[in-house]
């Protein structure tokens, strides 16, 4: 911990001294709306001032992205690939700095963020390879025409990201946009600006031309809103709450923006009594208590078969009570502080809501100290699927356990939610797993596994969890336009 803190202080010195400026057309620019402060959830201290963009700054960023677009679009694919691989290598070289800053900015723990920074590099490397490997057209047979379909980058795009694992999520959107030949204006979440700044800096040092990636800091209702409305911006890749997804869809309507929305979830993990008990237990714990539970794909609803409920919950309580809450930079820490005071208030409000609804607080349900925004990992039992703790996205280390008797009952409860991002099924009956996954309303399902990402596979949700997919060629579908050219034969 001491070593990590010492290194962190070294890295924060430059932010403390000069704050975080917007990056537009390869230049540092102050915010026309002044500044706002970024604070750490670990001890509530101010990290630095952050430039606050207004509409005019967003306009400049969009114009810079538009000006940089033709040259980036027309750059030979191999050259673009080389630059993106340089970015991946540069991220790897500064992965420790990124992880330390991310932990301090968001409260995420070192044990997970040190890997997430490298995942950011992997995102760049994967999509760099796709620059030359992606499907670039198709040949449709016709007696009189030869159809050739090509793809061309859609233009400058806006990327709007949330505060949870912000570095990894930003690279997941920005890397494919750049690989496709789009230029980007990125508006990171106002609560976690540090690593977005590191990313644009690293990318430019690695050879990304000025204006190809621009970063504007600021609030959703002004800077974010303007980005979704700007006519030069052709598409918006958005990750955040379902409610915000709906608002930005309206904002983008006048300029007919293409939207990709990755939104909230209340994901079920369904544990049948014929599962591998120990593996299921590990996975249930991992999928809600890792990353502080601030993860869109977390399984926040445990549907447990009544035949094994008592034993499973008893083992769960024992394990949850042993989870180490503490300083995020301590490598032994499993759960760090909740990202902001506002979010901490939201998460802790469910401790009372659970009791009012008649559930039992079987573990946690308490805060830890008052230096930062720490809570004990929490488990609610004696719950049913109608309670608010089973319906609303809490987005913290809080799990609601609900029993079921039959497969039909489990399926009905799993689908009885406005969301549909992920689902996790634990059973050794593979016919049942297939039958269940076929009916489960979710964009991504893991059977006998926790969430393990495979970059070429499609990522995204159904219902209020989102519209659109990315990953593999799906990312290029979003960032590119299809064009069909028919030759008479």
Binding site residues, ligand NAD, CB under 6 A: 160-164, 169, 187, 189-190, 219-221, 224-225, 228, 239-241, 244, 247-248, 251, 262-265, 296, 393, 395, 421, 461, 465-466
Question: 122, 262, 393, 450: which one is catalytic?
Answer: 262
Rg value, the chain, Cα = 23
141: left (phi over 0), alpha (psi -120 to 50) or beta: beta
The residue of the chain with the least Cβ separation from ligand NAD equals 220
In terms of CB distance, is 265 or 365 closer to ligand NAD?
265
d(CA 211, CA 61): 8
| Residue 182: closest CA among 215, 153, 150 | 153
Compute φ and ψ for 146, nearest 5 degrees.
-105, 115
Q: Which is nearer to ligand NAD, 248 or 280 (CB)?
A: 248
CB atoms within 10 A of CB 366: 12
CB of 395 to ligand NAD, least distance (A): 5
Residue number, 102 or 393, with CB nearest to ligand NAD: 393
Q: How far is the CB of 170 from ligand NAD (least distance, A)?
A: 10
What is the C-alpha separation between 165 and 194, in angstroms, rounded? 12
The nearer residue to ligand NAD, 99 or 236, going by C-beta atoms, is 236
Burial of 234 (0-12, 13-18, 19+ CB in 10 A): buried
What are the tokens at 437? 């996954």
DSSP 386: T
Nearer to ligand NAD, 151 or 343 (CB): 343
Residue 236 Cβ vs ligand NAD, minimum distance, rounded to whole Å: 8
| Pairing assessment for the beta strands 422-426 and 360-363 based on DSSP bridges | unpaired
Q: How far apart are CA 247 and CA 239, in angstroms?
A: 13
Q: Is 229 a catalytic residue?
A: no
CA–CA gap between residue 327 and residue 346 (Å, rounded): 21
Q: Which of 131, 233 has the CB closer to ligand NAD?
A: 233
How far does CA 110 lie from the centroid of its chain?
17
CB atoms within 10 A of CB 452: 6
Q: What's the sign of the alpha-carbon dihedral 218, 219, 220, 223?
A: negative
Active site positions, annotated: 262
């Amino acid at each position: 911990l001491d070593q990590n803190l010492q290194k962190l202080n070294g890295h924060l010195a430059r932010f403390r001294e000069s704050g975080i400026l917007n990056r537009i057309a390869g230049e540092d620019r102050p915010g026309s709306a002044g500044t706002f402060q970024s604070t750490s959830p670990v001890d509530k201290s101010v990290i630095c001032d952050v430039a606050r963009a207004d509409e005019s700054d967003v306009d400049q960023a969009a114009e810079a992205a538009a000006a940089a677009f033709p040259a980036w679009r027309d750059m030979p694919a191999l050259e673009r690939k080389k630059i993106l691989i340089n970015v991946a290598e540069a991220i790897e070289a500064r992965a420790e700095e990124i992880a330390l800053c991310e932990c301090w900015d968001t409260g995420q723990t070192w044990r997970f963020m040190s890997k997430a920074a490298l995942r950011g590099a992997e995102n760049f490397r994967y999509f760099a390879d796709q620059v030359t490997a992606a499907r670039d057209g198709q040949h449709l047979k016709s007696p009189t025409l030869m159809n050739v379909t090509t793809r061309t980058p859609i233009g400058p795009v806006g990327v709007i990201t949330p505060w949870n694992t912000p570095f990894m999520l930003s690279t997941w959107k920005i890397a494919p946009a750049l690989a496709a030949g789009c230029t980007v204006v990125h508006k990171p979440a106002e609560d976690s600006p540090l690593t977005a700044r590191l990313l644009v800096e690293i990318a430019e040092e690695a050879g990304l031309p000025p204006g190809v990636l621009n970063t504007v800091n600021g609030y959703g209702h002004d800077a974010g809103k303007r980005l979704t409305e700007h006519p030069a911006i052709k598409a918006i890749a958005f990750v955040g709450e379902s409610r915000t997804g709906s608002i930005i869809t309206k904002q983008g309507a006048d300029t007919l923006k293409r939207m990709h929305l990755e939104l909230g979830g209340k994901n079920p993990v369904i544990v049948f009594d014929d599962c591998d008990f120990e593996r299921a237990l590990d996975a249930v714990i991992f999928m809600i208590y890792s990353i502080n539970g601030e993860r869109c794909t977390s399984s926040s609803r445990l549907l447990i078969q009544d035949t094994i409920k008592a034993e499973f919950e008893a083992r769960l309580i024992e394990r949850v009570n042993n989870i180490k809450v503490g300083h995020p930079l301590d490598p032994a820490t499993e759960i760090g502080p909740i990202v902001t005071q506002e979010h901490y208030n939201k998460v802790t409000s469910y401790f009372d809501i659970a009791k009012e609804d008649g559930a039992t607080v079987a573990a946690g349900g308490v805060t830890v100290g008052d230096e930062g925004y720490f809570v004990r990992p929490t488990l609610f039992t004696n719950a049913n699927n109608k309670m608010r703790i089973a319906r609303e996205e809490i987005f913290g280390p809080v799990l609601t356990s609900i029993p079921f008797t039959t497969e039909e009952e489990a399926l009905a409860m799993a689908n009885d939610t406005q969301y549909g991002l992920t689902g996790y099924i634990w059973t050794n009956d593979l016919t049942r797993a297939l039958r269940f996954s076929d009916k489960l309303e979710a964009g991504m399902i893991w059977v006998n596994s926790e969430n393990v990402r495979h970059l070429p596979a499609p990522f995204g949700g159904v219902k209020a969890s989102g519209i659109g997919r990315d990953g593999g060629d799906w990312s290029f579908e979003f960032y590119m336009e299809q064009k069909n050219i028919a030759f008479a034969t």
